[in-house]
Amino acid sequence: MCQVYNTVGSLTTIKDHLYQNNINEFNSLNEVITFQKNYAAYQQQIISDHEYLVEQEKHTLNADILQLNESIKAKKNELEYKLRNEIGRLEQKVNNLLNSTPSNFIQKIRNFLKVRYYKKKIHHNKFNFDSKIAYSMRQLVSVHAQKNARYQFILSRFVDAVNESCLIPLKELERKKRIIDEINTSIYGAMGEQKVVKELERLSDEYVLINDCFLSFSAPIYNRQTNEYINTVQIDHILVSPAGIFLIETKNWSKKSLNNLNLYSPVQQIKRANFALFKILTKSIESYNFPVNQHHWGDRKIPLRNLIVLINSKPSEEFQYAKILQLNELLGFIKYFKPVFSNKETEDIAGYLLNLIRQRIINIGHV
C-alpha cells in the first residue's frame, strides 16, 4: 500500500475552523456531512425531546401541587392548634391571676401588670391570628404558587413552554450549522481530496504520497514568463514514484463551477507550484544536495508532472502544462510511466520533500 503522510489540507482547514468556534464533537468528515444532511431531523429530535420533558414536568408539577396542598393543610392545622393553645394558656394565666388574692399591695400591682401584659398578648394573637399563620406558611405557599403558575402555563400554552425549553439547544444547533456552512467549499474539497487519497493508497509501497504541501520562501522566486514573484505555493498532493514526482491538484467542482470565470484556474495554480518546486530541485541538484545518484554524463532529469483530478465533471478540452483526469483515470495514468528511480532514490526524494515541507520558511539558497 502507498505510504501516506499528512492529513489532506481541506480537512485541516475544517478542523481548525471548528476548533476555533468551540465545536469539538465531530471526529471525521463523514460526521460533519451527516450533520449537514440530517440538520432538520436533529431539529425535530430536539423539539420531540423537549415535548417529552415538558410533558414529564407537567406530571411532576401536578404531583408536587397535590402534595403541597396536603402539606399546606396539615401545616395550617398544626399552626392554628399551637396558636390557639398559646391563647388558651395565656387566658388561663389571666383567670388564675384574677381569681387569686394578693397578699399585699405590691403583689396586687404585680398581678395587675401581668394581667395587662397577658391580655395584650392575647389580643395581639387573636387580632393577628391569620397573618401569623400566613407568615409561618409563606415559603410553602410561595413554592405552591410558583409550581401552580408553571403548571397552568404548561396546560394553557404547551407549545410556548416547549419552545422556551428547547430555545438554547436549537440556537446552539443553528450556530453549529451556520459555522459548518461557512466552510462548505472546504468540505467539498476535503471530500474530493479524501477520494483521491483513497485511490492512491491502492498503489504499492514504493510510492509515497504527501498531502497538504505548503512551501513558503524567505525570498520570493521570480518567474520571468509570468512576471510574477512567488512567495508561497500550496499543493494538494505530491506523489513521489519511481517514475518521477506528480503534483496533484484535486477539484470537487460542479459543471457550473468549471464555467465560473471568477474561480482561479487550477491549471495556473499547479503550473505556478511546478515552477517553484522545479527551481528548488534545480538548485538542490546544482549544489549536490539532492538525494539522487549522479550520472557520469551529467545531472539527471527529475520528471515533474502536473495532474488535475476532477471528481465530478471534466472539461472536454486538453490543456498545456497539466493533465486533466477523472478519478477512475488516475492510477492508469500514473502507472503508464516507466521507472527512472530506484526504490531507495524514491524514498530519499520523498524524505527530502518532507523535510522541505516541514520547514516554516525555505531559503532557496540553502536547499
Helix (H/G/I), strand (E/B), else coil: 222: strand
Q: 137, 170, 203: which is the final residue of a domain?
A: 170
Q: 143, 170, 197: which is the final residue of a domain?
A: 170
Cα separation of the two ends of the chain: 30
| Domain encompassing residue 353 | 189-366
Whole-angstrom distance, CA of residue 60 vs CA of residue 56: 6
In-domain check, residue 85:
yes
Whole-angstrom distance, CA of residue 80 vs CA of residue 71: 14
pLDDT, position 141: 96
pLDDT > 90? residue 81? yes
Q: 170, 199, 214: which is the final residue of a domain?
A: 170
pLDDT, position 262: 44
Indicate if 246 and 319 belong to the same structural domain: yes
Beta bridge partners of 20: none
Indicate if 299 and 357 belong to the same structural domain: yes
Tell me 165's DSSP state. H
Indicate if 204 and 145 belong to the same structural domain: no
In-domain check, residue 175:
no
Whole-angstrom distance, CA of residue 93 vs CA of residue 17: 82
Prediction pTM value: 0.74
Q: How confident is the model at residue 353 (pLDDT cuts 50, 70, 90)?
A: very high
pLDDT, position 206: 95
Helix (H/G/I), strand (E/B), else coil: 300: coil
Indicate if 154 and 194 belong to the same structural domain: no
Beta bridge partners of 240: 208, 245
**Angle ∠(45,48,50) on CA atoms, nearest 5:** 110
In-domain check, residue 68:
yes
Tell me 264's DSSP state. P
Q: How confident is the model at residue 26 (pLDDT cuts 50, 70, 90)?
A: very high
CB 233 within 8 Å of CB 280: no
Mean pLDDT score across all residues of the chain: 90
In-domain check, residue 224:
yes
Which residue matches cell numbers 400554552? Answer: 157
Whole-angstrom distance, CA of residue 330 vs CA of residue 249: 12
Domain count, the chain: 2
Indicate if 292 and 230 belong to the same structural domain: yes
How large a percentage of the chain has pLDDT more than 70? Answer: 90
Indicate if 198 and 162 belong to the same structural domain: no
Indicate if 193 and 309 belong to the same structural domain: yes
AA identity, residue 31: E
Indicate if 205 and 160 belong to the same structural domain: no
H helices of the chain, in order, are 9-20, 29-37, 39-99, 105-127, 129-136, 138-156, 158-165, 167-181, 184-200, 255-258, 266-286, 330-336, 343-358
Indicate if 194 and 341 belong to the same structural domain: yes
pLDDT, position 362: 81
Q: How confident is the model at residue 146 (pLDDT cuts 50, 70, 90)?
A: very high
What interhelical angle do 167-181 and 158-165 show, nearest 10? 50
